[in-house]
Structure 1
Amino acid sequence: MRLVRLPGVYRPQGDTGLLAEALLDAGLRPGSAVLDVGTGTGALAIAAARAGAGRVLAVDVSRRAVLAARLNTALRGLPVRVARTDVLRHELLERFDVIVSNPPYVPAPEPTVPTRGRARAWDAGRDGRALLDRLCALAPALLHPRGTLLLVHSALSDVDTTLRRLRGSRLAASVVARRRQEFGPVLRGRTALLEDRGLIAPGQREEELVVVRGERPAD
């Protein structure tokens, strides 16, 4: 899928593709309401709309990402609403049947999450969980009963913690997809850092991507 991508907007890669496949495998019900958190170019919002979602809201904190997503969805004539907002800080009044997210999850040199620049699309604190933990805590309040969260991240960011936090938020959580891939440019530039922290073995140049599914029970 060819997409308009402005400078500084995350380019869809293996994690985006794996999450899109998981979304289709989940059997999206026609007319479902879908929230795409951290939409970037809008690739996942497009996948949801094409799969039959009745209402799609795509959000991002980046102005350039919002513009790119608006262009990409408009060019395809898809009914996707794109908004610049941080749903992890500002509560939405809407509720959704499905939430999809490919959040920043790369372990970074600094403990704080950048508020501007290209690295904002991938840096997520020293353990890579700054955004993941907030999303795990917030997701239940954004889902309808029997709603589903699908999120993707690297195993370097601790899959067990994601499962534990979702279960602690009363979601039934499991890993529904896995894929190994070679390090991209960002991780290749951080191999020494990752080795020093014991996150990868010496010489390791592959990571495992996982899609975690969380389901809210019926009330």
Structure 2
Amino acid sequence: MRLSKFLSLSVAMSRNQAKFFIRKGRVSVDGDVITDPNSEIADTSLVIFDGKPISIAAYHYVLLHKPASYICKTKDTQYTSVLELVKNRSEDRYYYFANVLGAELTGLVLLSDDAHWTTRMQRKLSKKPCVYQAKSKNIISDDQLRQAKEACLVFSENQIGPKINIQEQDEKTLLLSMNQTHISEIKDILSSVDLDIETLHLEQIGRLSLGDLTEGDYLELAENEIKV
């Protein structure tokens, strides 16, 4: 691994910052000061930065059940970040979201401090069907269900990727299978047939689901445990 990459992964800094500090002579490898950021280091090398030994901490992968009124951002002036729910996260590492839910939505959120993994996962998730639960304040009539299905069929005919599918779960709840990018369109469709949706909840993406995870709780997973 290149020394600049090792330093940026070990200490919360960008790759350019790591190169700057290395060129300034603030990093030594196995007792020798190294000023070339592109120097390759062995897995067994002892790396010292500003007099302290450093190592790459294990990445953190989190599957979280997001409550309403939380936001998928690191900071927000109006809502609380979902990061506040992750109690043992490292404060000096930046977290990224593999999928994003609006403040009013609840359900499955994936996040990690591994930027490269998050980027790859975002691409994968964009191609996977999502299962949402839409709960209505009132009983859904047969006519409303029929109109919603017809509207989704018309919308899906003009789209590339997973089509929108609607099923009735109970008298007040619909199960919607669709691409996660269609969330605003499905809200418009349900509103157009006079369905007053109380909650919209993301239960599953591809093969990944919340299972029995309670609202506000989360699971810490290994990278190879996340199968979509």
TM-score when normalising by structure 1: 0.25
Over alpha carbons, which structure has the higher Rg? 2
TM-score when normalising by structure 2: 0.25
The structure richer in helix per residue is 1
